[in-house]
Amino acid sequence: MCGIIGYVGETEEHDALDVLLEGLSGLEYRGYDSAGIALANGSIAVRKKEGELSALESALEGEALAGDAVGIGHTRWSTHGPPSDRNAHPHTDADGRVAVVHNGIIENYQPLREELADGGVTFESDTDTEVVPHLIAAFLEAGLDREDAFRRAIGRLEGSYAIAAVFEGEETIYAARNESPLVLGLGDDGHYLASDVPAFIRYTDRVIYVDDGEFATLTPETVTVTDADGRVVETTVETIEWDAEDAGKSGYDHYMLKEIHEQPSALRECLRGRVNELERSITLEELPALEWEGPVQFVACGTSYHAAMFGAGLLESRGVPARPYLASEYTAAERPVGPDSLVVAVTQSGETADTMRALREANAAGATTVGVTNVVGSSAAREADHVLYIRAGPEIGVAATKSFASQQAALTMLACALSETDAGDVVRALRDVPDGIQTVLDTSTAREVAEAYEDADAYFFIGRGPQYPVALEGALKLKEITYKHAEGFAAGELKHGPLALVTDNTPVFAVVVGDGERARKTVGNVKEVEARGAPVVAVTDGQTDIERYADHVLEVPAGDELAGAILANVQLQLVSYWVAHRLDRSIDKPRNLAKSVTVE
């Protein structure tokens, strides 16, 4: 999704152009198809290019743009109009007095565009954003000063936005937020704003999160946050606990591989202070004793939805009715949600538009809400009644990896807390998981499996119980980074239709952990596909005889189904990574996808 960056400061310390380009590079992970910058010390200079950031950098070579102290930048993920130079941000008014970058969607842009066109404005792009500089210019012409013109223009917008604007010849950035992320950075030699902290973490770890409906004004010396009426808002300065190196690749070819390998430490961090081995108990200090009626409702998208399925299944297995919903399918009007409900929003970024809408609807219905998220200060963290951090650290690769494992662990602990059941079994299962993942990472033969099946027509993943969401997640990971067809099924459903798809060129990955009834039944399903000639890859801890029917085995340390679901997923992540690697895909930034999906 689009990313914005802004900087205003001392040129002796940082050149705005350098800060903006580095900032845009720190936002690349969000996914984008064009990039641009505007510098504003004197007259506004805008440069923007379709394609990767390198295209913009090449276009800037030889340009005498150094020496500016104020500017804004943008990575665009197209929503209105195709990727192109002219649709890239920043956008300006006709006279180039103001330049604007925007993340979000302006829902009433069409009537605004018609109104402005009737007043003589000619539009240069297809974007919704371009109405903003023209509105600001109209208010300037009506005699308002710059800040008032900006505020009045923002007041005309409906929809979601994080917007930043610079005016010619002024060392100030004006910004506003509604339902799109916006964070301010307080440096010693200037001030920053961005969609996300990695854009400026190398310069400062002191941040202020801007809330919906608030405005921010940044100068080299001051940062002021105000409400819609212009009253100064008291803000909290928070300190980010990770640094630029944490957000870098640390020698790995891809963020995805680095983040897969970070899972042992991410899991330890997630469990730290929450799992008490001596007392065999789990304590989530951030959550008070909660009361609710009816099933616990989980809302989430994509990988986080698979984690929510996993969490809901576990909760039910501990006697508490629970139901996972795809956030995009969840509307409070059609769901049994009210003041007695408990709604858990699972979201790595804490900014996913579908999940945030569902969370907001649950809040509005009076439900008690819990945000399970990775990003401190994110919208989910701030808007839910309670927040449970998964503590996975920054995840830059578009494919969710370590955040899924940490969500599984956090939701396992949440299930214990909500069900108030004896946590002995869960403590036993979770305490060995970080070392178990390390064993998987050290011994995995996923690379050979990827080599064997890189040319497959399609890939199927099956599992039962806790392994069913893992099968879905395995398929999602493979399709998103390899662009190959992959599907996950509940193992028992194969014979109700999908078995017709099985051929000798469609490997079936079967997740079989433990020696319980579910594992034994999945072995039965494996026999069915094996009998029809499909290659079988068993992801297993070897407690059943599945290896007899498998062409390849990806081993996980023996344990219970719960731990096995976290460990098996790591093997599937590695298979996806190595297939994508062999196919030379854009692993960290798959086509058409964005890390943080901030539009519905």
- For ligand M6R, the binding residue among 68, 214, 480, 555 (CB under 6 A) is 480
The Cα–Cα gap between 570 and 573 comes to 5
- Tell how far CA 237 is from the center of its chain: 23
| Tokens at 30, concatenated | 């969000």
Identify the helix (H) or strand (E) that includes residue 488: strand 486-490
The Cα–Cα gap between 446 and 466 comes to 21
The nearest distance, CB 526 to ligand M6R, in angstroms, is: 26
Q: What is the SS3 assignment for 190?
A: strand
The nearest distance, CB 348 to ligand M6R, in angstroms, is: 3
The nearest distance, CB 597 to ligand M6R, in angstroms, is: 5
- For ligand M6R, the binding residue among 396, 539, 597, 599 (CB under 6 A) is 597
Cβ atoms 136, 92 nearer than 8 A: no
Residue nearest to ligand M6R (CB): 302
402 versus 518: smaller Cβ distance to ligand M6R: 402
The Cα–Cα gap between 38 and 40 comes to 6
Cβ atoms 75, 198 nearer than 8 A: no
The Cα–Cα gap between 552 and 445 comes to 9
476 versus 523: smaller Cβ distance to ligand M6R: 476
The nearest distance, CB 397 to ligand M6R, in angstroms, is: 8
The interface mask with ligand M6R, positions 33-72, x = CB under 6 A, is ----------------------------------------
Looking at residue 130, what DSSP letter applies?
T
The Cα–Cα gap between 194 and 182 comes to 6
Cβ atoms 349, 373 nearer than 8 A: yes
The nearest distance, CB 130 to ligand M6R, in angstroms, is: 27
The interface mask with ligand M6R, positions 311-350, x = CB under 6 A, is ------------------------------------xxx-
414 versus 526: smaller Cβ distance to ligand M6R: 414
The nearest distance, CB 379 to ligand M6R, in angstroms, is: 10
The Cα–Cα gap between 555 and 568 comes to 8
Where in 286-315 is the site for ligand M6R (CB under 6 A)?
301-304
399 versus 538: smaller Cβ distance to ligand M6R: 399
Where in 90-149 is the site for ligand M6R (CB under 6 A)?
none
72 versus 597: smaller Cβ distance to ligand M6R: 597
135 versus 398: smaller Cβ distance to ligand M6R: 398
The Cα–Cα gap between 536 and 529 comes to 8
The nearest distance, CB 355 to ligand M6R, in angstroms, is: 5
Neighbours of 219 (CB within 10 A): 16
The Cα–Cα gap between 339 and 337 comes to 7
- Tell how far CA 340 is from the center of its chain: 29
User: Which phi and psi (to 5°) does residue 178 adopt?
Assistant: -150, 110
Cβ atoms 489, 461 nearer than 8 A: yes
User: Which phi and psi (to 5°) does residue 465 adopt?
Assistant: 55, -130
Catalytic-role residue among 2, 270, 301, 416: 2
The nearest distance, CB 350 to ligand M6R, in angstroms, is: 7
127 versus 407: smaller Cβ distance to ligand M6R: 407
Exposure class string for 275-313: b at 16+ Cβ within 10 A, else e: beeeeeebebeebeeeebeebbbbbbbbbbbbbbbbbbb
| Tokens at 309, concatenated | 């399925």
- Tell how far CA 488 is from the center of its chain: 22
Cβ atoms 436, 423 nearer than 8 A: no
Number of residues that bind ligand M6R (CB under 6 A): 16
Catalytic-role residue among 258, 479, 589, 595: 595
301 versus 418: smaller Cβ distance to ligand M6R: 301
- For ligand M6R, the binding residue among 186, 398, 440, 546 (CB under 6 A) is 398
| Tokens at 378, concatenated | 């994110």
The nearest distance, CB 303 to ligand M6R, in angstroms, is: 3
- For ligand M6R, the binding residue among 137, 154, 400, 458 (CB under 6 A) is 400
Where in 209-228 is the site for ligand M6R (CB under 6 A)?
none
Binding to ligand M6R by residue 399, rule CB under 6 A? yes
178 versus 379: smaller Cβ distance to ligand M6R: 379
Q: Note if 416 is an active site residue.
A: no
Where in 426-465 is the site for ligand M6R (CB under 6 A)?
none
Cβ atoms 576, 478 nearer than 8 A: yes
Task: Provide the binding-site residues for ligand M6R, judged by CB under 6 A.
Answer: 301-304, 347-349, 352, 355, 398-400, 476, 480, 596-597
Query: Active-site positions?
Result: 2, 595
